[in-house]
Amino acid sequence: MNSFAILCLDNNPISMEQLHHELRPFTSKFDVHTLDCLEDAKEALLHCEEQGQQIALVIASHHDNFNGAEFLTQLDQDPITKSARRILVSCGQDIQAILTAVNEGRLDHCLTKPLQDGLVKKTVQKELTTYIIENDSENLLSFSLVLDQQRLLRSHIEKKMRNYREGFISDHHKLSDEALAEQVISALRLFFEGNDEENACRRYSPDHLLTKEGEENRFLWFITKGEVALYKKDDIGMQREVVRYSKGNIVGGMSFVSGERSFSTAITLKPTEVIKLDRDVFAQVMHSNTDLLPLFTNLLLRHFNRRLQRSITNKLALQKTLESLENAQLQLIEREKMAMLGQLVAGVAHELNNPVAAILRGTETLVQNIDVILSSPEHQTTMENVRGDELLARGKALLEAAREAKPVSTAAERERVKQLMTQVKDRRISKKMVKLNLDSDERLIRLAQKDPEQALEILANSEHYHQVGATLRSIGVCAQRIADMVKSLKGYARPDDETFHYVDIHEGIEDTLVIFENSSSATNWRNPTLRYLKYTASLSHFNKCGLT
């Protein structure tokens, strides 16, 4: 009696004979039970269970008065038949229900009558192969003569490889580094004992060079006794020790495996014994002893893991140091910002004080001149040849002209005074006429030639209007100065208008000199911050033109 059985259910003798014929090649490994009713099939299942025989495959027909589909779908409720493969042979009736059972996994395969020659054999071989792979993986090759040999062989190899990989890790991970290294040393010494033609087992004196940084390395050194130090050059070319290796450690492993140049320089520190392997000898050792390969590979992996751990630890420490330095730098920057902010606030307060003071002084001057103008009505003038309404019109014109006038250099004023003195001999009258921009007034020139005193009186009266206009202009300049300074401060936070404008550089410089004519003391100009603020403020009128 075989360990596995096949059940065939069909009440049609012709169909049963065909099934029995196609199942004959499997009888060497499987007992075949042919049954013609469902009651006998249930008894056969109980008999197999009593005999300890496992049901590997059940084939049932489905037609009128023989519900083989229902019998097959109920097999998954019994533990003895739950894992059995199920094939339904149908006459084409209730095909939708049958397909649903196949899709739900309650049936493994469905054949439709009339059956082609060899189809049952091919299907049974496929299903039995699947069953044996799932339920008897230890004896796969014993079924290779009757089942799918390629599938069985492939499954057998995969199982062996899986077991090897599992053992490759699990058999050695519990060993300590020392115990693992001792096993590798013993295996290597056993291999080279009496057969060390390559002189692999060597003894070195102190200061012997094993690897050199940046050079090609073709060897792997396994330390069996002594101590080796690894050195690495820093940015300035100085060699610094990075790690020390003793018994059980590997030198040159990374460059030996990857083929890259040596990462560090290895030098013995004391009398040291090593096993030196090149790639050819290493391959011979590993091929000669299959037990040594997992041992050595585990040791090599541990060596790389320790190296990686040291690298990560050093990187974390370096990162922590960099974070500390960044925090210290941020604190210094914040302190410097606060210090600069204090200087900036002091400088801005001082610079705002200048135009505000100028506005206050201009306001006082404006009030005084307006009082003079209002208390001396022009219609009461006693000057001959000059009407009051004419003086009033002249005063208004002077006021407007002074408000719109552009500063004139002192050299230009002196030249104009010099030219006017050729007609008006009085220097005081000439200077006032030039200052009030009346040096082209022919009527006033004739009056100055004829009656200088009356001309001086008219100029003195007109000077009040001019001062009012000039003061209004100065107040406007100072107010614009404050607005420009606020706008510049806003520029630190966000850009504002970045378009170019045409300006008069001469006008900007002259306006700045007017604003600072009484406030630019030597002490203030010694302060670099205030000096820079004064300089930038002086260029506020032509900053946008791109000349700076």
> What would the pLDDT profile of 48-104 be if each residue is shown by its tens digit?
888 888 888 988 888 777 777 778 878 877 777 888 888 888 876 666 666 666 676
Long-range residue pairs from 290-296, CB within 8 A, at least 24 positions apart, any chain: 291/187, 292/184, 292/187, 292/188, 292/191, 294/167, 294/168, 294/171, 294/172, 295/172, 295/180, 295/183, 295/184, 295/187, 296/184
For residue 546, the one-letter residue type is G
Nearest to 289 by CA among 157, 188, 167: 188
The owner of tokens 């004419």 is 390
- In terms of DSSP bridges, do strands 109-112 and 85-90 run parallel, antiparallel, or are they unpaired? parallel
496 pLDDT higher than 80: no
- In terms of DSSP bridges, do strands 228-233 and 201-204 run parallel, antiparallel, or are they unpaired? unpaired
**What totals of helices (H) and strands (E) does the chain contain, helices first?**
18, 14
3-state secondary structure of 46: helix
**Do 73 and 101 form a contact (C-beta atoms < 8 A)?**
yes
Tally of CA atoms within 13 A in the half-sphere of 409 that contains its CB: 6
pLDDT band of 206, cuts 50, 70, 90: very high
Nearest to 2 by CA among 47, 43, 51: 51
**Do 58 and 85 form a contact (C-beta atoms < 8 A)?**
yes
For residue 121, the one-letter residue type is K
**Do 89 and 62 form a contact (C-beta atoms < 8 A)?**
yes
E strand intervals along 140-190:
none
**Do 9 and 61 form a contact (C-beta atoms < 8 A)?**
yes
More confident residue, 300 or 536: 300
> What would the pLDDT profile of 258-293 be if each residue is shown by its tens digit?
888 888 899 999 999 998 988 888 888 877 776 677
The owner of tokens 């005084």 is 368
**Do 146 and 26 form a contact (C-beta atoms < 8 A)?**
yes
Instruction: Report in angstroms the alpha-carbon separations of 245 from 250, 390, 427.
Output: 8, 111, 103
Eight-state DSSP code of residue 362: H
- In terms of DSSP bridges, do strands 4-9 and 54-63 run parallel, antiparallel, or are they unpaired? parallel
- How far apart CA 30 and CA 85 sit, in angstroms, is 14
pLDDT band of 532, cuts 50, 70, 90: very low
Choose the most confident range, by mean pLDDT, from 93-107, 139-153, 298-312, 354-368: 139-153
Eight-state DSSP code of residue 113: S
Which residues neighbour 44 within 8 Å (Cβ) at sequence distance 6 or greater? 7, 33, 35
For residue 185, the one-letter residue type is I
The H or E element spanning position 170 is helix 149-170
For residue 311, the one-letter residue type is S
For residue 459, the one-letter residue type is L
Choose the most confident range, by mean pLDDT, from 3-17, 379-393, 449-463: 3-17
The owner of tokens 């779908």 is 73
> What would the pLDDT profile of 303-343 be if each residue is shown by its tens digit?
778 778 878 888 888 888 888 898 899 899 888 888 887 78
Report residue 10 as tokens: 């069909």
Q: Which range, of 19-23, 50-54, 182-186, 498-502, averages the lowest pLDDT?
A: 498-502
The neighbour count for residue 277, using CB atoms within 10 Å, is 24
- How far apart CA 73 and CA 67 sit, in angstroms, is 11
